[in-house]
Amino acid sequence: MIWQLWWVWAAAAVVLVILETLLPGYILLGFGIGAGVVSLLIAIGADLGLEVLLLIFAVVSLIAWIAMRKVFGIPGDEARRIDHDINDN
């Protein structure tokens, strides 16, 4: 079937990584990494069913997303603290 072709997963990974440049936030990049890992597993000869491939895709995507949030941080995560008032002299 089509989900057992490595190039389908690789194409999905490339598309997701390209779309990440349009939608920042490291969301699609995690999915792209997951699709890339599944593509590599299929390319090296892993004979897995669709359910296992989707599970690997989901787990790797989640781990990649969490890792990127830890490394790159959440934009605007810190609250702005104002210690003085503009009207104070």
Domain total of the chain: 1
Instruction: Flag whether 43 is in a domain.
Output: yes
Question: What tens digit of pLDDT does each residue of 71-86 get?
Answer: 877 666 666 677 777 7
Which two three-digit tokens encode residue 45?
Answer: 């000869």
Question: What tens digit of pLDDT does each residue of 23-66 get?
Answer: 877 788 899 999 999 999 999 988 888 899 999 999 999 999 88
Give the pLDDT of residue 84.
78
> What is d(CA 86, CA 63) in angstroms, rounded to the nearest whole number?
44
Instruction: Flag whether 29 is in a domain.
Output: yes
Instruction: Flag whether 40 is in a domain.
Output: yes
5 and 42 in contact (C-beta within 8 Å)?
yes
Domain range for 10: 2-72
> What is d(CA 19, CA 13) in angstroms, rounded to the nearest whole number?
10
Instruction: Flag whether 9 is in a domain.
Output: yes
Which band of pLDDT confidence, cut at 50, 70 and 90, is reported for residue 69?
confident
- Characterise 11 by phi-psi region: left (phi > 0), alpha (psi -120 to 50), beta (else): alpha
Which band of pLDDT confidence, cut at 50, 70 and 90, is reported for residue 10?
very high
